[in-house]
């Protein structure tokens, strides 16, 4: 059996998953400590210890914000701020004798969908993109998650929007990361609302999609614009890695209207105009974090 942990800013979810059928056999949730790293580490160990008592466990996989700096092994870029600069993985490994691995939540989406979700038919590759508050991505190549040299593999949210033109995409937008016109500023759920508000009075993504399904002309134009941005981004990635499947997760991915539009526009932005890479909705929803985390050590060959 595998342990998977999904560590978020407010909750930590821990599960035991069967590697054979991806069934979750135990699940528990605790609040993420707000105060400091020592309290955080104690809470994480408590979750792991509770799960370890329930089954024979082969490995522990962790999905967490941020990444591990390869040179130092320390956490960086985590929005649980006290985690940054800590040797979180090292501290866990010194407490347990089974293999432990850690990656970010977008990579967990890619792993869970590749192993047992919408990309399970793929032989070796998929791209997963989270369209939520932010925009993250994960890439599986040759059946393995691509972490990259700096832990940046799949971070397509912070590439610049392809074919950016101010008359179509609005004025330049500075991202919190320091770059201009990041994809995230256009295709995250937040970006969807931001670009709407450049032309109309502010509305939530849900309100805009509701108006779309009622045939509202401005909403239809905006959803088409959004899907064009997404197709530009995905087309760019197809030209680099040409994955078998593209899986979308996060809040906006629940809007069925986007799929035929993105699918139809995708080949406008690829080198070959015959590209028909399926763009599909993630299957695991909120469970993708824990499932992907659980399968991480298996995918990395740390266990058999
Ligand atoms: Zn950025």
Q: Is residue 41 part of a domain?
A: yes
Q: Is residue 227 part of a domain?
A: yes
Tell whether the model's pLDDT for residue 143 goes beyond 90. Answer: yes
> Tens digit of pLDDT for each residue in 232-290?
999 999 999 999 999 999 999 999 999 999 999 999 999 999 999 999 999 998 888 89
pLDDT band at 67 (very low <50, low <70, confident <90, very high): confident
Tell me how far the alpha carbon of residue 178 lies from the centroid of ligand 1, in angstroms. Answer: 6
Check: CB of residue 42 under 8 Å from CB of residue 50.
no
Tell me how far the alpha carbon of residue 159 lies from the centroid of ligand 1, in angstroms. Answer: 7
Is 145 found in the same domain as 71? no
CATH number at residue 258: 3.30.420.40
Q: Structurally, how many domains does the chain consist of?
A: 2
Structural domain of 223? 121-282
Is 62 found in the same domain as 138? no
Model pLDDT, residue 35: 87
Mean pLDDT of all residues belonging to the chain: 95
Q: Which of 140-144, 203-207, 256-260, 271-275 is the least confident region? A: 271-275
Q: Show contacts of 116-120: CB within 8 Å, 24+ apart.
A: 116/21, 116/22, 116/284, 116/291, 117/247, 117/282, 117/283, 117/284, 117/288, 117/291, 118/245, 118/247, 118/280, 118/281, 118/282, 118/283, 119/244, 119/245, 119/247, 119/280
Q: Is residue 213 part of a domain?
A: yes
Tell me how far the alpha carbon of residue 266 lies from the centroid of ligand 1, in angstroms. Answer: 23
Tell me how far the alpha carbon of residue 152 lies from the centroid of ligand 1, in angstroms. Answer: 12
Is 270 found in the same domain as 133? yes
Is 96 found in the same domain as 28? yes
Tell me how far the alpha carbon of residue 177 lies from the centroid of ligand 1, in angstroms. Answer: 4
Is 272 found in the same domain as 168? yes
Is 180 found in the same domain as 40? no
CB crowding 128-165: b at 16 or more within 10 Å, else e: bbbbbebbbbbbbeeeebbbeeebebbbbbbbbbbebe
Q: Is residue 208 part of a domain?
A: yes
pLDDT band at 78 (very low <50, low <70, confident <90, very high): confident
Is 198 found in the same domain as 265? yes
Tell me how far the alpha carbon of residue 175 lies from the centroid of ligand 1, in angstroms. Answer: 5
Q: Which of 84-98, 147-161, 174-188 is the least confident region? A: 147-161
- Dist. CA 290–CA 25, nearest whole Å: 12
Model pLDDT, residue 144: 95
């Amino acid at each position: 059996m595998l342990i998977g942990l999904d560590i978020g800013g407010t909750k930590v979810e821990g599960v035991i998953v069967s590697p054979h059928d991806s069934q979750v056999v135990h699940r528990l949730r605790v609040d993420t400590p707000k105060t400091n790293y020592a309290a955080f580490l104690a809470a994480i160990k408590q979750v792991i210890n509770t799960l370890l008592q329930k089954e024979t466990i082969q490995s522990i996989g962790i999905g967490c914000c941020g990444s591990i700096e390869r040179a130092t092994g320390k956490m960086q870029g985590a929005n649980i701020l006290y985690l940054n600069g800590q040797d979180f993985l090292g501290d866990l490994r010194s407490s347990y004798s089974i293999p432990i691995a850690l990656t970010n939540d977008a990579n967990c989406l890619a792993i869970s969908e590749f192993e047992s979700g919408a990309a399970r038919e793929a032989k070796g590759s998929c791209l997963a993109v989270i369209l939520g508050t932010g925009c993250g991505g994960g890439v599986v190549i040759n059946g393995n998650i691509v972490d990259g040299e700096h832990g940046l593999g799949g971070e397509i949210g912070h590439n610049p929007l392809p074919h950016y033109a101010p008359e179509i995409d609005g004025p330049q937008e500075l991202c919190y990361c320091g770059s201009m016109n990041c994809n995230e500023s256009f295709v995250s759920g937040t970006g969807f609302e931001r670009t709407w508000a450049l032309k109309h009075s502010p509305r939530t993504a849900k309100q805009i999609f509701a108006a779309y399904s009622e045939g509202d002309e401005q909403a239809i134009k905006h959803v088409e614009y959004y899907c064009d941005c997404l197709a530009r981004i995905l087309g760019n990635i197809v030209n680099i890695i040409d994955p078998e499947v593209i899986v979308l997760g996060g809040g906006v991915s629940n809007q069925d209207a986007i799929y035929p539009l993105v699918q139809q526009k995708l080949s406008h932005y690829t080198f070959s105009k015959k590209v028909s890479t399926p763009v599909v909705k993630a299957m695991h929803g909120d469970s993708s974090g824990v499932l992907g985390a659980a399968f991480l050590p298996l995918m990395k060959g740390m266990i058999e």
